[in-house]
Amino acid sequence: MLQRIRPQMTMRTLTIFSLLFIGWVGAFMALIQPTQASPAGVSVPVSPAGKIASAPAIAVTRQGSVHIVWQQDGGLWYRNWRNGVWSAVEQVAVEGESPTLATDPYGEIVYLAWEQEFGGNYEIFVRKWDSVNGWSAPHNVSSNDGGSSAATLAVSPTGQIHLIWADTTPGTSTLYHAISTDGESWPVALPITNAKGSNPSAAFDAAGVLHVAWQYRASFAENLRIWTARYANNTWGAPVAITDGSQQAFGPDMAGHGGRIALVWQEGSQVKLALPGNSGWVVNNTQTGSAPAVAINSHGVIEWAWVTSTGLARQFGLSGWTTPTTWSVAGSNALDLATKNTSIGIVWIQNDNGSDRVFYNSENLATMYQPLIMTR
């Protein structure tokens, strides 16, 4: 009679099994956890030497061209990087402040908005750039008797251009909203109900819902708070405060891409990053610094950056966060970020031989996440 031999689970067998299990888990975690991010590579000065530049803005088209606008000599100046070549510096507004950029989700199209004194008060102007015609003529979108400032642009997944800014026409600084289908024809803008405040930033989430964040306080006796609202089905929801007013909270910046949306702001001596939760925005990360900015690549990897006493710091995250790294030099400021596919571009102001210049860099975040490779 044959005797059935029952296999014995020896210590050696357990050890081999454990090592194999740990290896599979490690490989899986390598897929979802970021590796350590390296500091920025070669930084490129974009604005001319000997000039004082400020307030840079960046946008990157789906085709990969980089577009940068900044303030200089009382006006706005522009440069792009296409097909491996930097363009000459070009003035795009004789007068202008606080530029902001956005790109079309499909074509080689860029939208620029800024504030400019015109007819005795500040107005919001828009220009459109495309690879065939270059820049369109400026269009005065706000065109009212109030002071219009701090424009932000967001382009929907279907290509609608949404422009939001702060306007004193109602007597109190209130957010206004305008929508265009081509960036050149703009219907009359309307105030967002109960959205008092200034310094808005806007972005679309994966469902095509427009989110806007801004700062507001009812009186000088209060601290500034960060407020948010949503625009869905052609209707604005009620504004919601997401900070408690215990410290000054200001300077919101939003980004939406890769199926995710993120919001950053400064609160006291800290910068905070929030992600949407089941019942609203939830703070996910807090660091020491000021003036944060954020972008998200097509894989959903978040990069945010901020100003510190020793330079500019950046951090990346998908399901976890890298250790913050610092680059640039002390005194650098005025960050802006933009994304294209897996890459994120960044611009900032840095002193260069006595003049403040715009610098640019980019990093491919796909290299930060190790792929999971299974063999049989």
Residue 105 phi/psi, 5-degree rounding, is -70, -10
270 within some domain: yes
Sort 276 into a burial class: Cβ within 10 Å, 0-12 / 13-18 / 19+. Answer: middle
Q: How confident is the model at residue 331 (pLDDT cuts 50, 70, 90)?
A: confident
Q: Give the per-residue pLDDT at 11.
A: 38
Q: Does residue 182 sit in the same domain as residue 235? A: no
Last residue of a domain, one of 166, 196, 226: 196
350 within some domain: yes
Please count the other Cβ atoms lying within 10 Å of the Cβ belonging to residue 22.
10
Q: Which residues does 53 contact at the CB level (< 8 Å), separation at least 6?
A: 47, 70, 71, 72, 77, 349, 355, 356, 357, 358
Q: Does residue 125 sit in the same domain as residue 261? A: no
Q: Which residues does 40 contact at the CB level (< 8 Å), separation at least 6?
A: 314, 327, 328, 346, 361, 363
19 within some domain: no
- For residue 174, pLDDT over 90 is answered with yes
Q: Give the per-residue pLDDT at 308.
A: 95
What is the extent of the structural domain holding 107?
51-196
Query: Mean pLDDT, the chain, as a whole number?
Result: 86
- For residue 37, pLDDT over 90 is answered with no
251 within some domain: yes
351 within some domain: yes
Strands 290-296 and 311-317, by their bridges, are unpaired
Q: Does residue 149 sit in the same domain as residue 282? A: no
Q: Does residue 233 sit in the same domain as residue 331? A: yes
Q: Give the per-residue pLDDT at 368.
A: 52
287 within some domain: yes
pLDDT tens sequence across 147-158: 999 999 999 999
Higher pLDDT, 168 or 332: 168
What CATH number did the domain enclosing 315 receive? 2.120.10.80
329 within some domain: yes
Q: Does residue 134 sit in the same domain as residue 258? A: no
Last residue of a domain, one of 164, 196, 228: 196
15 within some domain: no
Q: Does residue 147 sit in the same domain as residue 228? A: no
Q: Give 367's DSSP letter.
A: G
Q: Does residue 192 sit in the same domain as residue 229? A: no
Q: What average pLDDT score do residues 133-140 get?
A: 96
Instruction: Give ∠ CA 326-333-197 in degrees, rounded to 5.
Output: 120
What CATH number did the domain enclosing 132 receive? 2.120.10.70
Picking from 36, 112, 34, 110, the residue whose alpha carbon sits closest to that of residue 297 is 34
Q: Does residue 185 sit in the same domain as residue 239? A: no
Please count the other Cβ atoms lying within 10 Å of the Cβ belonging to residue 299.
16
For the ranges 199-208, 239-248, 357-366, which has the lowest average pLDDT? 357-366
pLDDT tens sequence across 89-106: 999 999 999 999 999 998
Q: Does residue 288 sit in the same domain as residue 359? A: yes
Q: What average pLDDT score do residues 40-52 get?
A: 86
pLDDT tens sequence across 66-80: 999 999 999 999 999
Q: Does residue 234 sit in the same domain as residue 348? A: yes
Q: Give 321's DSSP letter.
A: B
Q: Does residue 251 sit in the same domain as residue 177? A: no
What is the count of structural domains for the chain?
2
- For residue 319, pLDDT over 90 is answered with no
Last residue of a domain, one of 196, 228, 246: 196
Q: Does residue 186 sit in the same domain as residue 229? A: no
d(CA 247, CA 167): 25
